[in-house]
Amino acid sequence: MSVKKTKPTRPTRPTRRTFLKQAAAAIAAPYFVPASALGRDGRAAPSERILLGGIGLGGRGSGVLGWMLPESDVQFVAICDPWKPRREAIKNMVDSRYGNQDCAMYKDIRQFLAERTDIDAVLIATGDRWHATASVLAMRAGKDVYSEKPSSMTIAEGQAVVEAAKHYRRIYQTGTQRLSEGNFTFANELLRTGRLGQIHTVRAHLAPWDAAEMRHDWLPAQPLPPAEEMDWDLWLGPCPWRPFNQEYVNGGWRGHYDFHTSCIGEWGAHTIAQCQVAIGAANTSAVEYQYVNNESGDGMVTRYENGIQMILQREGWYGSCGVRYEGTEGWVSVADGYSKPDVSSPVLLEDFKKLVNGYMTRTQRPMSHVRNFFDCIKSRRPTVSNPEMMHRSMTTVHAANICMWLKRDMRYDPAKEEFINDPEANRLRSRAMREPWII
């Protein structure tokens, strides 16, 4: 969609008398520069600020934005969303924070990216269907990207994100924020430093709702809202055309093949990434997948080239997005809500602060996922959840889904990024994308 441009009006030249009056008034008036403009109110000076925009910020997006707004060197300036109530809600949130009315609103991502050449980075928190497409479009437009997970719908989409970040030299962070939290970092460091002995098994928590086999039907058609209220074509984006139904917009897209990555992707986008980073497999994917005859993939055993097995598991934690690492000398388990990790021996907890602080010193990464993103925008160093890590962990998610859909064991070659001797599985590495959103 092109944006209609109007011919600029030639400015009126001031008369000599007007000019002298304005100059005298300027000299007489006290010269005042806001402290914020000089960086003296705790905020960075304008030249040091990261200008941030948002794409598709609903409940999750507003939560992440709430983590970003307090950062003193970040200024949020514009929201893009095809649903009017959502973009207005973000504008109100931002304007209330800054005490002004400056947050701009856009409906169409194309107009937003074309016009806002001042924006350095974008926060993307749409539904799953838009994550990769919006990320690639933003990076092509010269923006650094923080994208919520699951950050790809297919293996091919993940490849496109990796290629765009490399080609356009963009900083990218996916929202696997547990890689920047103390309890999870401690568990990873226990493994890395050998305190658990030889690791043989890791376990990744699956969401305890929905199924791996998703719905292929669609919800009944409802009358379309006015275009200004909801641009349904833009909301769908690269997905197949489906009739409007408000339930989709309210979050009911989950569990539908067109829009979702299943119960495996819902939490596995976090927990599989966590496991792969911990076992030194951040830049690869599992090579074997054993089909389990249930609806969720609970109990599926996957294996990596280094011999470690990862088991997908629904139960076993008292919190969400849990991981468990098991070695010859002990084990550690952690999930959201744990005041401290569970360990096989209390002795393992004695060096909690030492291990976490050592990690931060060694990697120069803070225990703040959004701060890591902003620091890397300035340093141009890779983030903790960089494109390759995202793509390789999501490849394991997608391969596990494909294993469940085809109901058979399969092998995967991470170097070639293809299933071995399985043309049917290889066809599922990508999906058709609707024009004009093909990436």
Q: What is the DSSP code string of 294-317?
A: SSS-TT-EEE-TTS-EEEEESSS-
How distant is the alpha carbon of residue 6 from its chain centre?
A: 37
Side-by-side strand order, sheet with 323-327: 342-343, 330-334, 323-327, 199-205, 309-313, 301-303, 288-289, 410-413, 418-419
Euclidean distance between CA atoms 32 and 311, whole angstroms: 63
pLDDT recorded at residue 44: 74
Euclidean distance between CA atoms 118 and 39, whole angstroms: 19
Q: 3-state DSSP call for residue 291?
A: coil
Task: Give the number of other CB atoms < 10 A from CB of residue 251.
Answer: 11
Euclidean distance between CA atoms 67 and 370, whole angstroms: 7
Structure tokens belonging to residue 239: 């997905």
Domain ranges of the chain: 45-177, 178-212+260-427
Q: What is the DSSP letter of 197?
A: -
Q: What is the pLDDT of residues 22-47, one digit of tens each?
A: 433 333 333 333 444 445 456 677 77
Averaged pLDDT, 265-277: 98
pLDDT recorded at residue 58: 93
Q: What is the pLDDT of residues 152-197, one digit of tens each?
A: 999 999 999 999 999 999 999 999 999 999 999 999 999 999 999 9
Q: What is the pLDDT of residues 336-384, one digit of tens each?
A: 999 999 999 999 999 999 999 999 999 999 999 999 999 999 999 999 9
Task: Indicate the CATH number of 178-212+260-427 among 1.20.58.1290, 3.30.360.10, 1.10.10.1590, 3.40.50.300.
Answer: 3.30.360.10
Contact indicator for 79, 97 with CB cutoff of 8 Å = no
CATH superfamily of 45-177: NAD(P)-binding Rossmann-like Domain (3.40.50.720)
Q: If residue 361 lies in a helix (H) or strand (E), which one and from where to where? A: helix 352-363
pLDDT recorded at residue 6: 39
Q: 3-state DSSP call for residue 293?
A: coil
Long-range CB pairs of 416-421 (<8 Å, 24+ gap) are 417/155, 417/159
**What one-letter code names the amino acid at 130?**
W
The band of 48, judged by pLDDT with boundaries at 50, 70 and 90, is confident
**pLDDT at 225 exceeding the cut of 80:** yes
Q: What is the DSSP letter of 249?
A: I
> What are the DSSP E strand ranges found in 116-190?
121-124, 144-147, 172-174
Q: If residue 327 lies in a helix (H) or strand (E), which one and from where to where? A: strand 323-327
**pLDDT at 15 exceeding the cut of 60:** no
Dihedral sign (CA 64, 163, 80, 214): negative
**Which ranges of 169-247 would DSSP assign to H, the alpha helix?**
182-192, 232-236, 246-247
Q: Can the peptide bond before residue 436 be classed as cis, meaning omega within 30 degrees of 0?
A: yes
Averaged pLDDT, 68-72: 97
